[in-house]
Structure 1
Amino acid sequence: MGIDENVRPGGVLVQPGEPFGGLPVPLGVEPVSIRTMVGELTALYAPAVTRGPNPARSRGTVLLVPGFTGSKEDFLPLLPLLAARGWDTWAYSQRGQADSASPRNPLNYRLGEFATDLLEVADVIGDGSPVHIVGHSFGGLVARAAALRSPKLFADLTFLCSGPKCWSEEIREMSFVVRESGSLGLWEASNPDLVEIGAPPLTSRESFHRYRASQTSPDNLLGIIDILVTAPDTTEQLLNTGVRTLVAHGADDDAWPQQWQEIMARALGARYEVIEDAGHLPSEDNPGLTAAIFDSFWGAFPPATPGRAPLATHHAFQARPTQQSAFSY
């Protein structure tokens, strides 16, 4: 299934897009853009592989949400693997990330605005049916906030290397670097070995991370830093929504305390998985095992019943102008 005017999910709200940053796009994955109230959010779409001697229908729709300093490209190795297992799989760059719409002012990057974007995207691609949503690191905070507002839109929620509450105040030091040197300055400060005199040439992925940092909105980074140090623990409220949850992280995840993640899983009564041979970005470090864990979780329950969830953020869309890392927290 390609991005065709008559068959693509979301109709005119989803349009063909362009690859970003020079990384190769796997066969079966298509760059697209999704029209939202903030502007065009860029995305990658991997239609479910349903061809073969016994063609099957898609098993459901999946939405992958990236973290701090990240983008949709963090999921490039994972997208075709999930599609091969029968899932219509989408990943998008959040506002201010990479080539997505980038409104000015850090006040446009509060948790509520990020959650609104997620709900709009999920509503478009799910076409009224609940969506399997995965939030990576900061993306988990966004997904949690969205689930608290519109739980009926969630078939379930997966926290990938994401914890229950804010980090320490130490991360605030990053905001001083961003204000002084911008988004690229933060990348350079975090990768001194790659920019020092005499350092070897950057690999293709390092070059991509550097370019992505240069295109990421400083206001996005400042807004997210503020969220990361002030976000409350809403685990109990999420439990009360009844949304099924999975908590998974890499065995070597060093960005969000693993103990926090395990405690959160217990509090939610969630399935808890440790992904071997992976750090903070299992979708790149061990995409095969990550895909298998997700597939097992999503496939353990009958498909969600279609039916448009009532959204406070659902609008009659009109034409809107397009607006224009190495951490991936």
Structure 2
Amino acid sequence: MSSQHSKIHEGQAFGCLPIPDNVQALVIDATVGPITAIHAPVAEGTPAKGTALFIPGFTGSKEDFYDIFALLPGLGWDVWAYSQRGQGDSVAPQGVQAYGRDQTATDALEIAGIITEASGCDGIHLLGHSFGGLVAQASVIKNPKPFRSLTLMSSGPHGWPGRKADLRERLLDSKGVDLWRLDNPDKADWPDSKLDVLQRFLRERSERTSTEQLLGAIDQLANVHDTTFEVKDTKLPVLVFHGEDDNWAWPQEWQHRMAKLIGARYEIIPDAAHCPNGENPVPTAALLDEFWSQH
């Protein structure tokens, strides 16, 4: 189905992480250029419930969702994720100005439209992780019509002045050195054989990720504009959740307050922190299945 659509083509798995058997690597021809994606169709013999689109976070990529994509199709969900412009093996336009709020939201809306046309689905459940949650919020505010619901995983309502300013300075001073090497100078020149598979993947992804994308994302993360009531005005059903030990990107109190003001469902995943999709995927998949099934 997906590979036959004029704007969706078969792709190659990115990096050294093993791709789950049920997950397809794809390329989506977006206006900005080729955006890489993954797709896990509903498991054979399972009644189909709907379609969901996942947006990864800061320093992330579509591969962050491998673990949960191995589970959701067995619950009846047709799931898609993409690496945002400048992330991993997706197209990376030049200039920090190419990575603003409007550009990243426009990508999400365009990709949602392409998936809707390809799958014939009646609306998409949109999920954004961390920085991807900011992109998801901007997308539904710009146009809520393609979506059936919004899920914010470990994401908050706004940034604060100077957020990640030290990282921004390090990136500007790095002279092309990627973020993984900046964070792991003792391992910068290690051969692949000395790194485990996850560290090899993180290094390769960091090498391929645009520094300008990171700078643009930092600017979005530092934006103090609160979108809470704009999200509420979309009238979409909203789920806000994070891991019980998530103190990584937004204070948990902010996430809880945002949910209350929106009138959203709010949940905490046990035995997880900022990435419950990978840290504890079974209850995370169960929560998403329950929420999406209601809408």
TM range (shorter): over 0.9
Paired with 1:161 and 1:214, the residues of 2 have a C-alpha distance of: 25
AA in 2 matched with 1:173: D
Paired with 1:264 and 1:95, the residues of 2 have a C-alpha distance of: 27
1:116 aligns with 106
AA in 2 matched with 1:97: Q
Distance apart, 1:192 and its partner CA: 5.6
1:250 aligns with 243
1:149 aligns with 142
1:238 equivalent to 2:231? Answer yes
2:281 aligns with 287
1:175 aligns with 168
Paired with 2:232 and 2:175, the residues of 1 have a C-alpha distance of: 38
Paired with 2:129 and 2:148, the residues of 1 have a C-alpha distance of: 17
2:76 aligns with 86
- The answer to whether the 8 Å contact 2:87/2:208 transfers is yes
Say if 1:236 and 1:4 are closer, same or farther in 2 by CA, change over 3 A: closer
Say if 1:174 and 1:4 are closer, same or farther in 2 by CA, change over 3 A: closer
Equivalent pairs, count: 289
AA in 2 matched with 1:12: S
After TM superposition, the structure 1 = structure 2 runs for residues 151-230 of structure 1, keeping only pairs within 5 Å, are 151-181=144-174, 184-191=177-184, 201-230=194-223
1:306 aligns with none
After TM superposition, the structure 1 = structure 2 runs for residues 260-299 of structure 1, keeping only pairs within 5 Å, are 260-299=254-293
Deviations, residues 119-147 of structure 1 (Å, cap 9, x unaligned): 00111112273100000000000010010
After TM superposition, the structure 1 = structure 2 runs for residues 129-148 of structure 1, keeping only pairs within 5 Å, are 129-148=122-141
AA in 1 matched with 2:244: A
Deviations, residues 15-48 of structure 1 (Å, cap 9, x unaligned): 0000101111101100001111000100000001
Paired with 2:186 and 2:260, the residues of 1 have a C-alpha distance of: 39
Say if 1:183 and 1:244 are closer, same or farther in 2 by CA, change over 3 A: farther
Match among 28, 36, 39 for residue 33 of structure 2: 39
Say if 1:67 and 1:228 are closer, same or farther in 2 by CA, change over 3 A: same
Paired with 1:96 and 1:222, the residues of 2 have a C-alpha distance of: 11
After TM superposition, the structure 1 = structure 2 runs for residues 65-80 of structure 1, keeping only pairs within 5 Å, are 65-80=55-70
- The answer to whether the 8 Å contact 1:164/1:234 transfers is yes
Paired with 1:186 and 1:66, the residues of 2 have a C-alpha distance of: 17
- The answer to whether the 8 Å contact 1:63/1:90 transfers is yes
Paired with 1:190 and 1:257, the residues of 2 have a C-alpha distance of: 23
Paired with 2:156 and 2:10, the residues of 1 have a C-alpha distance of: 34
2:49 aligns with 59
Distance apart, 1:86 and its partner CA: 0.7
- The answer to whether the 8 Å contact 2:159/2:222 transfers is yes
2:91 aligns with 101
Q: Secondary structure at the match of 1:76?
A: helix
- The answer to whether the 8 Å contact 1:184/1:210 transfers is no
Paired with 2:176 and 2:209, the residues of 1 have a C-alpha distance of: 6
Paired with 1:185 and 1:36, the residues of 2 have a C-alpha distance of: 26
Using structure 1 for the length normalisation, give the TM-score.
0.84
Q: Secondary structure at the match of 2:232?
A: helix
Distance apart, 1:181 and its partner CA: 1.6
- The answer to whether the 8 Å contact 2:129/2:154 transfers is yes
Compute the RMSD of aligned alpha carbons: 1.9
Moved over 6 A (4+): none
Say if 1:214 and 1:130 are closer, same or farther in 2 by CA, change over 3 A: same
Distance apart, 1:59 and its partner CA: 1.1
Say if 1:99 and 1:62 are closer, same or farther in 2 by CA, change over 3 A: same
Q: Name stretches of at least 5 consecutive residues in structure 2 with no aligned partner.
A: none
Deviations, residues 249-296 of structure 1 (Å, cap 9, x unaligned): 011112121111011111111111101111111111011111001001
AA in 2 matched with 1:140: G
- The answer to whether the 8 Å contact 2:178/2:211 transfers is no
Paired with 2:224 and 2:98, the residues of 1 have a C-alpha distance of: 16
Say if 1:183 and 1:135 are closer, same or farther in 2 by CA, change over 3 A: farther
Distance apart, 1:202 and its partner CA: 2.2
Q: Secondary structure at the match of 1:32?
A: strand
